[in-house]
């Protein structure tokens, strides 16, 4: 029985299922006495609360390593298919003291160029509107 089907059962049905399960366990013990074999350990009933709550899945280090190796192999095939010279060479890292990365600042001349270009664009839009009206 799956967890979702257990969640849909009424209390009375759950009690009946538990009584049947206990009878099965008793019969297995009796069978073990007759045949001389120890009874198989009973399967634990699924815990509904754990399934409803949802546990976080964990991945082993070996699993992560396998996924990383597969990804590297895929990228190697992709880069090989692109051919030589198509792949950009990795940039050399500059020797900088460890610290926060400085943000680039816009120069006054650069800001003036952007403002002039924006004014020219708006002038075109206004001219087109005036021409159409």
| Sequence spans of domains, the chain | 3-53
Confidence of residue 39 (pLDDT cuts 50, 70, 90): low
What's the predicted TM-score (pTM) here? 0.28
CA distance 83 to 109: 42
Segment 57-116, tens digit of pLDDT: 889 999 999 999 999 999 999 988 887 766 555 656 656 566 677 788 899 999 999 999
Which phi and psi (to 5°) does residue 36 adopt?
85, 15
Longest dimension (CA), the chain: 103
Confidence of residue 45 (pLDDT cuts 50, 70, 90): low
Name residue, tokens 């692109």: 82
The mean pLDDT of the chain is 81
3-class secondary structure per residue, 12-63: HHHHHHHHHHHHHHHHHHHHHHHHCCCCCCCCCCCCHHHHHHCCCCCCCHHH
């Amino acid at each position: 029985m799956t967890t979702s089907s257990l969640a849909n059962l009424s209390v009375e049905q759950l009690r009946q299922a538990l009584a049947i399960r206990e009878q099965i366990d008793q019969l297995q013990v009796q069978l073990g006495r007759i045949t001389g074999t120890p009874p198989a350990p009973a399967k634990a009933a699924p815990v509904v609360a754990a399934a409803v709550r949802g546990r976080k899945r964990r991945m082993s280090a070996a699993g992560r390593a396998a996924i990383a190796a597969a990804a590297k192999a895929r990228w190697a095939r992709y880069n090989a298919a692109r051919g030589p010279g198509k792949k950009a060479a990795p940039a050399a890292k500059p020797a900088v003291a460890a610290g926060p990365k400085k943000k680039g600042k816009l120069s006054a001349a650069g800001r003036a160029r952007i403002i002039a270009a924006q004014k020219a664009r708006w002038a075109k839009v206004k001219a087109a509107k005036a021409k159409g009206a």
